[in-house]
Amino acid sequence: MKIAIKTLVVFVLIVLQSCTIEKKNNIVYKTETLVIEQITPTIFKHKTYLQTQDFGNVGCNGMIYITDNKALVFDTPTSDTVSKELIDWITTKKKAEVSGVVVNHFHKDCLGGLNAFHEQGISSYANNLTITLAKAKNRTLPQNGFDGKLTLALGSHKVITQFLGEGHTKDNTVSYVEDEKVLYGGCMLKSLKASKGNLEDANVSAWSTTVTNVKTTFPNIKTVIPGHGKVGDTSLLDYTIQLFKE
């Protein structure tokens, strides 16, 4: 009898611990292919997975901004199938219309599911260099290009996407939600304790300077979403600067 009670207590503790972790992480949707985590009342992180030769099955982050029954997505899931799953969650569960998708750079973890957005008439945006580099790789191309800076609005709220220098790639941008003081840095910004990662298309010598430019351009950042790993604060900027400092 004592053993049974002890087993029950252990089970309850495990369940409570699991619930605490789930609440702490604010996970609002989870399947084998897609995890959505709420960061602020209007900001969500979406995570999908990409099988790579060098790093195995990698979790890849993107951002969703939902306000005034409208949504902007930053980086697509890694496939069209999961992009459809994400769009369905936004439209069905959040009752929001997806107004656009912004691509951070030309790698597959940013635009692998772009076709699914185009099929539903959702406009896509990217740095003009991103479009050029994606074309060279025979990837689906973002529809609308910009040089330097792009501002998109959801009602009276705006998001700034800007190219501030080379780093992870020649074309990588960052996106800043002013109202929430949230920065989506993509693969240019590293989660704490992360390695340098994929450097195949990187400009390592410019990387730290570019992230310093990000800090200067957006001095009020409170929350940072990296391309891989956990969400953090401006310490992710400082960590990335030190990681690539020569």
Which of these is catalytic: 75, 80, 109, 171? Answer: 109
Q: In the annotation, is 233 catalytic?
A: no
H or E segment to which residue 175 belongs: strand 174-177
Question: Residues 110, 168, 171, 172: which is the catalytic one?
Answer: 168
Instruction: Confirm whether 105 is a catalytic residue.
Output: yes
- State the angle between helix axes of 204-217 and 235-243 in degrees (0 to 180), rounded to the nearest 10: 160
What is the Cα–Cα distance from 137 to 41, expressed in whole angstroms? Answer: 37
Q: How many residues does the chain have?
A: 246
Q: Catalytic site residue 109?
A: yes
Architecture of the domain made up of 26-243: 4-Layer Sandwich (3.60)
Residue 59 has a pLDDT of: 95
Read off the pLDDT of residues 57-76 as tens digits, 9 standing for 90 and up.
Answer: 889 999 999 999 999 999 99
- Tell me whether residue 187 is one of the annotated catalytic residues: yes
Q: Taking the chain, what is the end-to-end CA distance rounded to the nearest angstrom?
A: 64
Q: Facing residues of 36 across strands?
A: 29, 46
Domain locations in the chain as residue ranges: 26-243
Q: Which residue has the higher pLDDT, 10 or 188?
A: 188
**In sequence order, which residues have a C-beta less than 8 Å from that of residue 43 and are 6 or more positions away?**
63, 64, 65, 177, 180, 182, 223
Question: What pLDDT is attached to residue 246?
Answer: 72
Q: Is the pLDDT of residue 107 over 70?
A: yes
10 pLDDT tier (thresholds 50, 70, 90): very low
Assign 52 a pLDDT band (cuts: 50, 70, 90). confident
- Residue 53: its pLDDT value, please? 67
> Quick check: is 171 catalytic?
no
pLDDT, the chain, mean: 91
The answer to whether residue 12 scores a pLDDT higher than 50 is: no
Structure tokens at 78: 């890694």
Residue 51's pLDDT is what?
A: 85
Residues 219-242, mean pLDDT to the nearest whole number: 98
Tell me the pLDDT tens digit for each residue of 17-47: 333 333 356 999 999 999 999 999 999 999 9
Q: Which residues contact 92 (CB under 8 A, 6 or more apart)?
A: none
pLDDT for 197-222, tens place per residue?
Answer: 999 999 999 999 999 999 999 999 99
pLDDT tens, 165-179? 999 999 999 999 999
DSSP, residue by residue, 105-171: SSSHHHHTTHHHHHHTT-EEEEEHHHHHHHHHTTPPPPSEEESSEEEEEETTEEEEEE----SSSSS
List the catalytic residue out of 25, 115, 198, 203.
198
Do 112 and 50 contact (CB within 8 A), yes or no? yes
H-run or E-run covering 59: strand 56-67
List the one residue out of 237, 3, 121 whose CA is nearest residue 11: 3
- Is 88 among the residues known to form the active site? no
Q: What are 49's two structure tokens?
A: 């997975």
